Structures are given as structure tokens and as C-alpha cells.
Structure 1
Amino acid sequence: MTLDPVVLFFLLGLAAALARSDLKLPPALYETLSVFLLIAIGLKGGVALAKLGSATVLWQALLVIGLSALLALVAFGVLRLRLARPDAAATAAHYGSVSVVTFAVASSYLTRQGISYEPQLTVFLAVMEMPALIVGVVLARLGAQGQVAWGRLAHEVLLGKSMVLLLGGLLIGYLAGPEGMKSLSPLYVDLFKPVLSLFLLEMGLVTAGKLAGLRAQGVFVALFALLTPPVFAVVGALTGQGMGLSTGGVMLLATLCASSSYIAAPAAMRIAVPEANPAVSLAASLGVTFPFNLLVGIPLYAWLARTLTA
């Protein structure tokens, strides 16, 4: 299976930086790309919610929101055994959140197999981005020296740039609905992956500059990134089975839980937890977890879903 082009852009940035090329993206452009991606993800979730406004979808969405937060907490507990609090919190946010590209590959796999799935899985994709990011910021800030200023912490988490863009996009997409969003689709839908490719080019450049900080914890982080996806997939599959999802729905929820974000999470953590080393989280999520899910995980999660729903 060929790699997604956006991942190849990440590898291009990584290789360019390691080769000491003078390739750089202007800081203002990176900021613009981050804003675009966060809004686009929120809009997509809002439109999906507008299409599926039933009570069943609501309680299922609330359940997966809690699941996302729980996975981030579990990941943090494991990572904290070896990593500093900012790095553990930021990486945990990546693993409680989800990967859009992994979801797209998994849904394509189901289509080729002729297996259907519930439309609310797209809603789950969107709403599972945010809880883990909030948890990651809270966990990072709780480790600050001195007494925690809870009012300031709540303001930072709920009204920080990344959360405002994600939640604001979700609300706008919900209120506008599918018809209202048609005029914005050429920008936020059609250009999503091209913008993502530039964003990952920059993240490749950033990661290469931080690789020295990964060497001390490289083996631990690699093992975490390799073993966490199948464990989290089992949790997601069992949750999907308990929710009464179909085989395809169980498989996609397992895939979402097994995936790790490299879109919203890097953007949010770089804004909210700048002291964290992005090389740690990106080396884990993009360097190990993403290719594992692509090559081994997706067929494994499909087998797990078929077994549970047989």
C-alpha cells in the first residue's frame, strides 16, 4: 500500500532539515495553516452533527468524547513513567485524539470489502479530536510550579486559540448545515489535503530540528507507539460492540481509538504547550503508529470487529 502524499510531504521536510537544506516556511504561514486546519476539522464535525441530530447519536457522541479523554489519561500515565510532564501531556493528547488520514484509509478498506458502517462515525471522528487536547493542556498546566490558578487554567483551556477555532468551527458547521456550507466547501473541503501537505512539510522541518531530544527516550517512545494502538483498538471495539454498532462501525471506532492525531494535536499543542518537544509526539504518531496502523493495524481491527460481531 502506497503512503498518503501528505505523509510524504512530512518526510520531505524531515529529509530536507536533516540534509541541512535552507528550506523554511515563514512563521506567519505556519500560523495560517494551523488556523485553517483547526477550523476545517470543526466545520466538518458540525455539518455531520447537523445531518444526524437524533438522541441516539447524541449519547453515542458523548460516550466517545469520554472515551477520548480516558485514552489520553491512560496514555499520560504510561508516558509519565519516562517522559517529562509537558512531553507526556502533549503526546497523550495525540493518542487520545484521532487521525483523519487513518480513518479515511480504514473507511476505504471497508468500501473495498463491501462492508457498510454507520454515518455517525464521521461525527465521532470530529468530536474525538477535542477532548484529548483539553486533557493534554490541563495535564501539562497542572505540573507548573506553585499553586494552580484554576480560573486562569479554565480560561486557557476553553478559550485558547486552538479550542476556540475547533469549537467555533463545530458550532458554525452545525448552525449552517450542509446547504449553508456548500459555498465554503471549495476552501475548507477541497483544499483540506493540499493545506495539510504544507502543514506536514513544516512539521517535518520542526521534528528534524528536535530529534536530538528524542534519543534519550527513543526506545521507550517507539515501544509505546507500537503497543498502544492494538490495546486502544480493543477498547474501542468493545465500546462499539456495546453501543450496538455494525461490524464496519466497530472496526472504524477501533481504528479511531488506535490512531493518533498529527493534524489538530500538533497544531493545538504547539500553541498551548510550547515547552513540549514536538519530536517526541510526532516521532511516535507519524514515525511508528501511523505506518503500523496503515500496514498491519487496519486489517487486524477488521478481523477483531468481525470476531466480536459474529
Structure 2
Amino acid sequence: MNNLLDPAILFFLFGAFAGLVKSNLEIPAPISRFLSLYLLMALGLKGGFALAASGFTLEVVRSLGAAVTLAVLVPLLGYLVLRRWLSGLDAAAVAATYGSVSAVTFITAVQTMDHQGLPYGGHMAAAMALMESPAIVLAVVMANTLRQRAAGGLALGGGTAALTAPGSAAVGLPLGKVLHESFTDGAQLLLLGAMVVGFVTGDTGQAAMQPFTGDLFKGMLAFFLLDMGLLAARNLPKVKGQSPWLVAYGVVGPLVHAGLALGLAWAAGIAAGDAALLMVLAASASYIAVPAVLRHAIPEANPSLYFGLSLGVTFPLNILFGIPLYIGVAHAVLG
């Protein structure tokens, strides 16, 4: 309940209300983009400052290794489950969306832990960056495999044998181009670059940037979550008419993914604070980076499925209820 009384969360609820009543309240796209870049830059700097203070330890290596493992495991398991209700390409797209991460969900979780005085490692910002791209790569590989099977006339079942029109060439971007777009994405580069700056400048940089990374952060996050509330409410109708099992995946899937992260954290001996953020990352779903790439890489997939489900269902559930749940469970289990 304390999480719901946080000003940033209340602004998210207010934005959702404004969207549901079809208000003309709107955050201009350039301002929304600026807020997103600001939050990533501030998060990267804060992570770099913390990493400079702690150094590269075995704890850092274990956390980053667990993050990469989850980034591969979650989309593969998701594809196997989603394939029961969706065509191959749609399943690959949704699995990629849930296999990647939401930076705003992670930033909100970091702010929540800061507010509660709970410790965590600054290197978890690097874990977030590492978890963004593997799911995209796996989705493209799966899509290319499905197209090749369809072109060869193999029966894939579930209506996926004919993925392209008769006589047409398979569409989609080459894997090399997708890899380039994934690893040179501007937001991801800004996050990593800010981490490097924070790590190099250390305490001196932290003192100089305090007004930027500290004083402004909460207000900027609240403003951005207002915009996210508007977007979530306006994308919720896209979920209507979808299979109840698919909607259930948008609710239950993140909980299962968070459980996998908790088990992996326990096995690797990861501290409770880092485990909590690992659970948040595993439970989140991308609604910016992955959908942008999938529109070009897997154009046959239905955007209302992966975008509507992640932003209309999973994002608000994580922001309102998931974050305090994951933090509480991680500290209850790992101490």
C-alpha cells in the first residue's frame, strides 16, 4: 500500500485515469523522449558512481551472469508456452517482448528501493542493458527458421505453414542488421556511456552531478510515469478480443519469470537487493526497444499482441503491485 502512496505511482494512476476517460491530456512526444533519455542517463551515472565505490567483485560477475542466463531462458520458455495459442511468428514476437526488459519498470524499482533505504548494486544497471538484446536476437533466429520451413513446404501446424503469400519472398531484416540495431540503440548506448562516465569520475563526478541525478530524479520520474499511465490506458483496448490464455500469460508469465530469477539468485548466492532488481527485470516486458525492432524484423507478427499486452497489462501490474511484491519476496527469502 505504501507503494501506491508514492507521488510517482499516483501520477501513473492519474495518467491512467485520464486515458480511460478519454481526456485530451497529452505529453508531447519530444518531451516524453527527453524524459526517457534523462532517466536513462541519470540511472547510468548513479550505477557508475556505485560501481566505482564497490569495484568489480565476484558479486558483480554472478549478478551479470544470472542476468544473461535469464535473458536467454525467459524468451525460449515463453515461446514454448505461447506456441500453444499463437502462430509461430506471433509467439516469437511476444516471447521476445517478455524476454527483454522495461527500463521504466527498473528505474521505478530503483527509486522505490532508494526510498525504503534498501541496498543494491549499481552494476544492476549494466544487467538491465545486457538483458535487452538477447531476446531480440533469439526472436529473429526463430522467425528465420520458421520462414525457411514454410518455404520448404514443411507443415508447422497451427496455421503457420503459410507464413508468406504464395510466390513471395520471405520478409524481414537480416540478422546482422538486427544485431547492429540492438547493440547500437541510442538509449542503450546512453545508459552504458553514462555508466562509464560515472565509473571514471567516481566521488568527484557524483558530487558535481548531484542536482542532476538526485534532486531532479523523482520529479522527472513522476512526469514520465504520468505519460506512461496515459499510454497504458490508451493501449488497453488492444487487448480486448484476445485469447483469455494470452491475457493470463501477461499476468502470470511475469510472476513465473520473477520466480525463475529468485531461484537463480538463490543458487548463485546473490544479495537480496540485487535479487529483487533481477526479479523486476525478469518480470518486465519491453514496450519501446523490442517493438520498434520487431516491426521491421518480424513484420508478419501482430503488433497489437506484443505491444498491447506488454503496455496495457504487464506494465501497470508491475508498476502498481509487482515491484513491492518482488522486493518483499526477495528480502523475505534471501534476507
TM-score range, shorter chain: 0.7 to 0.9
Whole-Å Cα distance in 2 between the matches of residues 262 and 233 of structure 1?
5
Alignment partner, residue 215 of structure 1: 240
**Taking structure 1 as reference, are residues 263 and 229 closer, same or farther at Cα in structure 2, changes over 3 Å only?**
closer
Residue type of the alignment partner of 1:213: K
Paired residue type of 2:308: A
- Identify the match of residue 252 of structure 1 among 270, 273, 283: 273
Matched residues in 2 for 1:263 and 1:230: separation?
Answer: 10
8 Å contact 1:24–1:202 — kept in the other structure?
yes
Task: Give distance in 2, aligned partners of 1:193 and 1:262.
Answer: 23
**Which of 193, 201, 214 is the matching residue for 2:226?**
201
Structure with greater Cα Rg: 2
Q: Secondary structure of 2:130's partner? A: helix
1:293 positional shift? 3.2
Work out whether residues 9 and 200 of structure 1, in 8 Å CA contact, stay in contact via their aligned partners in 2.
yes
Give TM-score scaled by structure 1 length: 0.78
> CA deviation digits over 1:136-195, x for unaligned, max 9?
433454537536523312210111212211221122221222322321221123212211
1:52–1:259: structure 2 CA closer, same or farther, 3 Å change rule? same
* Aligned amino acid, residue 101 of structure 2: H
- The verdict on how the C-alpha distance between 1:220 and 1:292 changes in structure 2, with shifts beyond 3 A counting, is farther
Quote the residue 1:165 is aligned against.
190
Structure 2: segments with no counterpart, 5+ residues: 145-169
Q: Which residue of 2 aligns with 1:93?
A: 100
Alignment of 1:5-16 (within 5 A): 5-16=7-18
Tell me, in whole angstroms, the C-alpha distance in 2 between the residues paired with 1:296 and 1:263: 13
Q: For structure 1, which runs of at least 5 residues remain unmatched after alignment?
A: 112-118
Could you report, residue by residue, the CA deviation over 1:20-62 in whole angstroms, capped at 9, with x for unpaired residues? 2111111111111121122222222222221122442442243
- Measure the CA separation in 2 of the matches of 1:301 and 1:64: 15
Q: How do 1:72-221 residues align onto structure 2 when only pairs under 5 Å count?
A: 72-74=74-76, 76-77=78-79, 78-79=81-82, 81-82=84-85, 84=90, 85-94=92-101, 99-105=106-112, 121-142=120-141, 143=143, 145-146=170-171, 148-217=173-242, 219-221=244-246
- Please give the alpha-carbon distance, in whole angstroms, between the structure 2 residues aligned to 1:234 and 1:261: 9
CA RMSD, Structure 1 to Structure 2 (Å): 3.4
* 8 Å contact kept, 2:15–2:228: yes
SS in 1 for 2:240: helix
Q: Percent identity?
A: 27
Q: CA deviation at 1:64?
A: 3.0
* TM-score, normalising length: structure 2: 0.73
- 2:68 counterpart letter in structure 1: G
CA distance in 2, matches of 1:257, 1:104: 15
Taking the TM superposition and a 5 Å limit, the aligned residue runs for 1:249-288 are: 249=271, 251-260=272-281, 265-269=286-290, 272-273=293-294, 276-277=303-304, 278-288=307-317
Distance 1:271 1:169 in 2: 23
Q: Find the aligned partners of 1:29 and 1:134 in 2 and give their Cα distance.
A: 26
Aligned-partner Cα distance in 2 for 1:105–1:71:
27
Question: C-alpha distance in 2, partners of 1:199/1:262?
Answer: 20
Aligned positions, number: 294
How has the CA–CA distance of structure 1 residues 223 and 270 changed in structure 2, closer, same or farther, with 3 Å as cutoff? closer
